[in-house]
Chain A
Amino acid sequence: MLLSIKNLHASINGKEILKGIDLDVNQGEVHAIMGPNGTGKSTLASVIAGREVFDVTSGEVIYKGRNLLKLAVEERAREGIFLGFQYPVEIPGVSITNFMRTAVNEVRKYKGLDPLGGGAFLKLMEEKKKLVELTSNLANRSVNEGFSGGEKKKNEIFQMAMLEPTLAILDETDSGLDIDALRVVANGVNKLRTKDNAFMVITHYQRLLDYIVPDFVHVLFEGKIVKSGTKELALELEEKGYDWIRKEQRDNGIAG
């Protein structure tokens, strides 16, 4: 098992957002996470990534057999956890090239590998840029600064390609993409899929799942995973919306 989340509770400023999440992810799997706005999907992603503003109040997260919650953000990243941000941050003055070179080499250092020299690094960059059809012009600019919504998302996938994570969490990477960009992003993900890594894809749209076919689909509702199924569940949600889930929850609540 790559990732095992048990009864995870997390809150921010005393407000509980995650109310007991259970989720297991194996290598080679793709998990889609769906659910209405504001139910905690991004919070779950942040807690796995290690964002310090969230307090984990109970539960555990085991990653590669280790207690993930003990590791700092950068250690988790070096252990192969990648988060494609729903809202990528603009960093004026830091070029994508310098950013990625620093990141790649810090990860390599952690793994006991020699840093990539300028030439080797540039070669790697060219290769990965092609994978996501990123223009050179974009790569020379400051990280996300002035990028369009779609460019920001492509840039996330480019970074993922550069870092080759073991567990990639993509938070609404499909939002704001045009049809061509969606295909490019999905192709990028599919090319990076191996039997050794895993993906958690947070999305609102079943359309993405036509391209990235998930092994499991989960519905996150008010801080809990209330339903899990296969890709057919996504189709059902697309068709019926979330009302029936709400109703089911209400009924369960009454029943319980």
Chain B
Amino acid sequence: MQGGLKQNITKELFSGLYREYRASIMAGDYPALTAQRENAIRRFEESGFPTTKLESWKNTDLKESFAREYNVVLKPEQGVDAQKVFRCNIPHLDTAIMGQLNGWYVSKDVPLMELGNGIIMGSLAEAIKKYPALVEAHLGKYTSSRTDSNTNFNADSFTDLNTAYFQDGVFIYVPDNVKSPKPVQIINVIHHDENLFLQSRNLIVLGKNSRLSLVHCDDSYNHQPSFSNVVTEIYLGENSSLDHYKLQNLNNTSTLISTVYFQMEAFSNLKSHYISLNGGLLRNNIRLRFNGPQGNANIYGIYLMDSKQHIDNQVFIDHAFPDCTSGELFKGILDEHSSGVFNGHVLVERNAVRTNAYQSNRNILLTETAKVNSKPFLEIYNDDVKCSHGSTTGQLDQDAMYYLRQRGIGEDSARMLLMYAYADEVISKIDIEPLKYRIEDMVKKRLQGELQICEACVLHCSTPEHPMEFVIDMTKI
């Protein structure tokens, strides 16, 4: 496969490849996984890729992405110098780094590490072999959409395709009562001379009363087109807590379909941050289920798009149990010909009394050609709830612009200040201080049009000899 013919992306292609490479795809499977794959490919063959005819894909057209030819990768590349690809330079941020190159886990030492405190982290392919029972208990268990019939989310054929095909990805297991001392950072880099179509799968399991901070970056290293279909399943055991960061800085010819399933048990806590700085077409499917009472989830998003970039955030939260709280705050700045979609759907089931949920999506359009389609939506089946939703789209505040300029601040700087202040409402929610400062820097660079795709990826930097400097120093004094 590697280095094989470039192909157009069609249902038939994946149907055919699956039959042809079935044996090698399943080589490492435990029996139930094979069964899952077989079911998944059948469903995929029935539904095919989504089109704009589907409600949930109405405003995101994959035609252009599909029109490109890609290499479908089924085997990892040999001889990768992990040290060269992943060099970290966030000052004062001490993370455990897990590298992924073109979807494959890149091991520095061993493919799967077991730390002294019982934490297991490394390659999912390796975990399937070494800990099949642990993986089996979770993998593919949270991806079925229970609410297909009565929501506007269709069973996602991308998840099915991923289940049928995935070979590797990241696996993290935090045992009961263990609090990970360091943030874990997954750096997923796309770097290849040819167009790639890749499908990786990540599984993250937090045991009871455990705690983890997870920084998950998607970066490209060059301007080669790519298509990623990434599925991540995250299980939050009872009373566990996860601080989750998703950073996206991909090139303008990349397509990323990222689907994250959060399964939240009783008393669990989630903070998730989606920071989308660049990408050709970014689709974030976020599906969360409260699977026990008293869960608490906050999801924040900031997206900064320009040229013809497109971002689509789809958030579905299933309040299936009482006394859970969920909050969504997504803010975007759209410039030039970029476009955005926000589709928030909160489902409050009949027994989910005392639910607290709010959804907010706000957008600033900097040009007349930028557009946004925002649809926050509540579906509530009991009376004892506190829910709110809202959506606004506007321009930068002209009175504020005038006020800033009257003090001698030039138009560009004034615009920068206002955009930065707007984004900061989301960025200030980041709890890890060094990470917050780093992301503040990146957002400033992005707003000034100085953020590089290839040289300075989200958190690590392959050209650390260029320190970042800002014309406007907005660091807190």
B407 interface residue (CB < 8 Å to A): yes
Q: Identify the interface centre among A73, A85, A89, A101: most chain B CB within 10 Å of its CB.
A: A73
B418 A94 Cβ-Cβ under 8 A: yes
Q: Which residues of B, 375-416, contact A by the 8 Å Cβ criterion?
A: 397, 399-400, 402-411, 413-414
Q: Identify the interface centre among A82, A106, A121, A143: most chain B CB within 10 Å of its CB.
A: A106
Q: Identify the interface centre among B404, B407, B425, B473: most chain A CB within 10 Å of its CB.
A: B407
- A122's nearest neighbour on chain B, judged by CB, is B477
Which residues of A have CB within 8 Å of B411?
72, 74
B178 interface residue (CB < 8 Å to A): no
Proximity string of chain A (224-235) to chain B, C-beta cutoff 8 Å, 1 when within and 0 when not: 000000000000
A106 B477 Cβ-Cβ under 8 A: no
B408 A163 Cβ-Cβ under 8 A: yes
A107 interface residue (CB < 8 Å to B): yes
B474 interface residue (CB < 8 Å to A): yes
Partner of B477, one of A85, A97, A103: A97
**Ordered nearest first, which 3 A-B pairs have the shortest CB separation?**
A93-B421, A77-B408, A103-B407
Take A106-B410, A106-B413 as given contacts and tell me if A91 and B477 are in contact as well, using a CB distance cutoff of 8 Å. Answer: no
Take A89-B399, A118-B477 as given contacts and tell me if A73 and B406 are in contact as well, using a CB distance cutoff of 8 Å. Answer: yes
B417 A99 Cβ-Cβ under 8 A: yes
B5 interface residue (CB < 8 Å to A): no
Partner of B409, one of A52, A74, A118: A74
Which residues of B have CB within 8 Å of A121?
477
A98 interface residue (CB < 8 Å to B): yes
- B423's nearest neighbour on chain A, judged by CB, is A93
Partner of A103, one of B397, B399, B409: B409
B407 A163 Cβ-Cβ under 8 A: yes
Partner of B408, one of A110, A142, A143: A110
Which residues of A have CB within 8 Å of B399?
89
In the complex, A52 Cα to B402 Cα: how many Å? 9
- B417's nearest neighbour on chain A, judged by CB, is A94
Instruction: Other than A94-B404, A143-B403, give 4 A-B pairs with Cβ distance below 8 A.
Output: A72-B405, A98-B472, A102-B417, A122-B477
In the complex, A77 Cα to B409 Cα: how many Å? 8
- How far in angstroms is the closest Cβ of chain B from A251? 40
- How far in angstroms is the closest Cβ of chain B from A54? 11
- How far in angstroms is the closest Cβ of chain B from A151? 16
A83 interface residue (CB < 8 Å to B): yes
- B410's nearest neighbour on chain A, judged by CB, is A74
B403 A89 Cβ-Cβ under 8 A: yes
Take A98-B474, A102-B472 as given contacts and tell me if A73 and B405 are in contact as well, using a CB distance cutoff of 8 Å. Answer: yes
B45 interface residue (CB < 8 Å to A): no
Proximity string of chain A (99-129) to chain B, C-beta cutoff 8 Å, 1 when within and 0 when not: 1111100110010000000100110000000
Interface of A is mostly: helix
Interface of B is mostly: helix
Q: Identify the interface centre among A89, A98, A102, A121: most chain B CB within 10 Å of its CB.
A: A102
Which residues of A have CB within 8 Å of B406?
49-50, 73-74, 77, 82-83, 85
Partner of A77, one of B407, B420, B476: B407
A78 interface residue (CB < 8 Å to B): yes
In the complex, A6 Cα to B397 Cα: how many Å? 33
Which residues of A have CB within 8 Å of B473?
101, 118
A88 interface residue (CB < 8 Å to B): yes
In the complex, A142 Cα to B406 Cα: how many Å? 17
Q: Which residues of B, 410-436, contact A by the 8 Å Cβ criterion?
A: 410-411, 413-414, 417-418, 420-422, 424-425
- How far in angstroms is the closest Cβ of chain B from A101? 7
Proximity string of chain B (421-460) to chain A, C-beta cutoff 8 Å, 1 when within and 0 when not: 1101100000000000000000000000000000000000
In the complex, A240 Cα to B474 Cα: how many Å? 52
- A143's nearest neighbour on chain B, judged by CB, is B403
A241 interface residue (CB < 8 Å to B): no
Q: Identify the interface centre among B397, B399, B408: most chain A CB within 10 Å of its CB.
A: B408
Take A97-B477, A102-B472, A103-B408 as given contacts and tell me if A91 and B403 are in contact as well, using a CB distance cutoff of 8 Å. Answer: yes
Which residues of A have CB within 8 Å of B476?
95, 97
B409 A106 Cβ-Cβ under 8 A: yes
Which residues of A have CB within 8 Å of B404?
91, 94, 99, 103
Q: Which residues of A, 60-74, contact B by the 8 Å Cβ criterion?
A: 72-74
Q: Identify the interface centre among B400, B403, B417, B424: most chain A CB within 10 Å of its CB.
A: B403
A74 B408 Cβ-Cβ under 8 A: yes
A93 B408 Cβ-Cβ under 8 A: no
A207 interface residue (CB < 8 Å to B): no
Partner of A89, one of B400, B410, B417, B422: B400
In the complex, A100 Cα to B417 Cα: how many Å? 12
Proximity string of chain B (291-325) to chain A, C-beta cutoff 8 Å, 1 when within and 0 when not: 00000000000000000000000000000000000
B402 A107 Cβ-Cβ under 8 A: no
Which residues of B have CB within 8 Å of A159?
407
In the complex, A34 Cα to B361 Cα: how many Å? 45
Which residues of B have CB within 8 Å of A73?
402, 405-406
A92 interface residue (CB < 8 Å to B): yes
B408 A78 Cβ-Cβ under 8 A: yes
A94 B421 Cβ-Cβ under 8 A: yes
B418 A51 Cβ-Cβ under 8 A: no
B425 A51 Cβ-Cβ under 8 A: no
In the complex, A134 Cα to B405 Cα: how many Å? 23
In the complex, A82 Cα to B408 Cα: how many Å? 9
- How far in angstroms is the closest Cβ of chain A from B417? 6
In the complex, A89 Cα to B425 Cα: how many Å? 18
